[in-house]
Amino acid sequence: MSAQYWINKLNLERHPEGGWYKRVHTSEKIQPTDRGDRNQFTSIYYLLEQGDYSAWHRIQSEELWAWHAGDTLAVHTLVGDSVATIELGADCLQHTVPAKHWFASQLASKEHGFCLVSCVVSPGFDFADFEMAQDSDIPAAWQHLVRA
């Protein structure tokens, strides 16, 4: 199965940080946060194609990534001045990115030309809690990780 197969089957659309997505579920339960009320959790399908990447960004909630199909996916998380990289795939099916950490992702292997994952955010995702990184936010030693 190809990236285009999944894009069509799941009715994915372009995501502002790169890649393709579709919101799958939004919890009806509301959770108060210091940023206002949020849904208790949200989930999306997320797909990256070869040559695409999820740019450095951060959100105010934890985000659990679960691998479904395709290539392994490198998820880079900035921890202090270092980067921790986890490769999601058949050997590591899920990974949680801590709240408020800069992170980015890209294909780690290129056998299939895509990777399909799900992302679950709690408290739920709201674009008001989403911040794209500027070059000054990411140490120069790590900026190259997700550039084309």
Query: Within the chain, which residues score under 70 in pLDDT?
Result: 147-148
pLDDT for 1: 87
Q: Judging by DSSP bridges, how do beta strands 62-70 and 114-122 pair with one another?
A: antiparallel
pLDDT for 147: 62
pTM for the whole structure: 0.91
CA distance 145 to 148: 9
Please report the domains of the chain, with CATH numbers, ordered by start residue.
3-146 (2.60.120.10)
pLDDT, one tens digit per residue, over 13-48 is 998 888 999 999 999 999 999 999 999 999 999 999
> In one letter, which amino acid is 21?
Y
Q: Which of 51, 43, 46, 52 is nearest to 18 (CA)?
A: 52
